[in-house]
Structure 1
Amino acid sequence: MSQNSECISTLPDFALQNCFHPSISLEGKAGHVSGYDFNQGLDYSRLLASMASTGFQASQLGRAVDVVNGMLDWRLIHEPMDEGTPNEFKDPEIRRNTKCKIFLSFTSNMVSCGVRETIRFLVQHKMVDVLCTTAGGIEEDLMKSMSPSFLADFSLPGASLREKGLNRIGNLVVPNNSYADFGRWLTPILDQLLVEQNEKGVNWTPSKFISRLGKELNHPDSICYWAYKNNIPIYCPAITDGAIGDSLFFHSHSNPGLRMDIIEGTVREREREMKS
């Protein structure tokens, strides 16, 4: 018997039970931890696939990749039919061509930072079907098409920045001038929307409003522009929660009467989108 074995044999039972309790076998029940071997060269598909077995947060990214691939690959023909299947979805050709409707939700900070360009790419190339975001997600996209935001630091004090006409978003800074320019751009558009509401009976909803802003902006760097071009609706129930709301409020005093139908925009239009 080795010295180590002799030592173990003299340990109290509770130590043996806690430290040397036999393991159950995980073979065939869980995958092995293994990262990407760059000796294989740089293969992006294999690199992303390897995240699933890398562990920690990389595994969450790997799972996300699997979910996204599943959405992109799904077709109705993969699902079994039953007695409740509508007649229009029994045609094999229709079932092969019916894809997953992909909703992409994002918050304003993702547009404030460089993730905006990734979202714009997805919308530009019709890789998503519907967008859901906050008012900040809309106005930050429009503003950044007009003037840049700047890299800064998380520790910068907001009060002193405010005195200099600057606004901190995490470690980013947006000048007050960007908001002022945005307001000046938006005001004549609101005037025109009011005319169309009164003379043509247009019932403005957040998604109609955002589509119109994308059209008026006409800038290829913009998420809203490509959503308008590709007829991808953007839902934003809280459209007044931000600089857009400020402009709508100021406009209600200078040229009152413009209405924004939140119910129509959040319920009726979404029902139509889900049925299409």
Structure 2
Amino acid sequence: MKAVNDLNITENTTIKELISQFSEAGGFSASKVAKAAKIIKNMQSDKDCFKILSHPACIVSTGTRGLIRDLVKNKKIDAIMTTCGTIDHDLARMWKDYYQGSFMMDDKKLHKKGINRLGNVLVPNECYGEVLEDNLQPIIKKLHAGRKEWSVHELIWAFGEAIQNEKGAENTIIYWAWKNKIPIYLPGPLDGAWGAQLWNYWQMNKDFKLNL
């Protein structure tokens, strides 16, 4: 059996050294982080490895969005499999800010102020549904004028291209997905605010189609 060893951290310990020590720490999550780091290293060194990143939308409402963006920007992955909410949060945070909160905040009081709580992230009404509705419909209309039928990942690329001149576009995942032609697949493309806007537009424009 392999013994559990204590972490030994100094002011000069690097992240690489810390993760290496995690592999010796045993128990709970530390050893899993070290194992994951080795898997990622092997994936990156294997030129024949097709790398798919799968993640939920909620982390895109946090600073973790920047890590995903950089993976796409630096071509460290080949495709993303996620939910519609990823597109929602990615676009909403380009136009408006989300805010830091607490899991213990009173939802009734927040509701009276027009603020939604996503875990410990605060999302005012004007920073999500309202800003998406105002900005997505003109983009959809423009894209529809040029093409009637879209696959989901190509439509996301088209959105990435459409926002390229927006302030903060380079902070988004979808901009870099378009730029580097990394597909983003959504098994449930209508299950979110972005998808709801597509559906709303389709109500009056029946020749606008998603090819699933």
CA separation of 1:40 and 1:252: change in aligned 2, threshold 3 A:
closer
The answer to whether 1:46 aligns with 2:17 is yes
Q: Identity percentage over the alignment?
A: 30
| Correspondence for 1:230 | 180
Q: Please tell me the residue identity of whatever aligns with 1:193.
A: L
| Correspondence for 2:151 | 205
The answer to whether 1:215 aligns with 2:161 is yes
The answer to whether 1:123 aligns with 2:72 is yes
| Correspondence for 1:55 | 26
Shift of 1:194: 2.1
- Partner of 1:154: helix, strand, or coil? coil
Structure with the greater alpha carbon radius of gyration: 1
Deviates more, 1:54-63 or 1:253-262: 253-262
Q: Decide which of 149, 152, 176 is 2:98's aligned counterpart.
A: 149
Q: Distance in 2 between matches of 1:238 and 1:245?
A: 9
| Correspondence for 1:163 | 112
CA separation of 1:183 and 1:159: change in aligned 2, threshold 3 A:
same
- Partner of 2:209: helix, strand, or coil? coil
Cα RMSD (Å) of the superposition?
A: 1.8
Q: Please tell me the residue identity of whatever aligns with 2:13.
A: L
Q: Distance in 1 between matches of 2:138 and 2:89?
A: 19
- Partner of 2:117: helix, strand, or coil? strand
What runs of 5+ residues in structure 1 fail to find an aligned partner?
Answer: 1-29, 75-97, 263-276
Q: Please tell me the residue identity of whatever aligns with 2:37.
A: V
- Partner of 1:104: helix, strand, or coil? strand
Tell me: higher relative CO, structure 1 or 2? Use CA pairs within 8 A at least 6 residues apart: 2
Cα contact 2:133–2:197 (8 A) shared by 1: yes
Shift of 1:253: 3.2
What runs of 5+ residues in structure 2 fail to find an aligned partner?
Answer: none
How do 1:43-122 and structure 2 match up within 5 A? 43-56=14-27, 57-74=29-46, 98-122=47-71
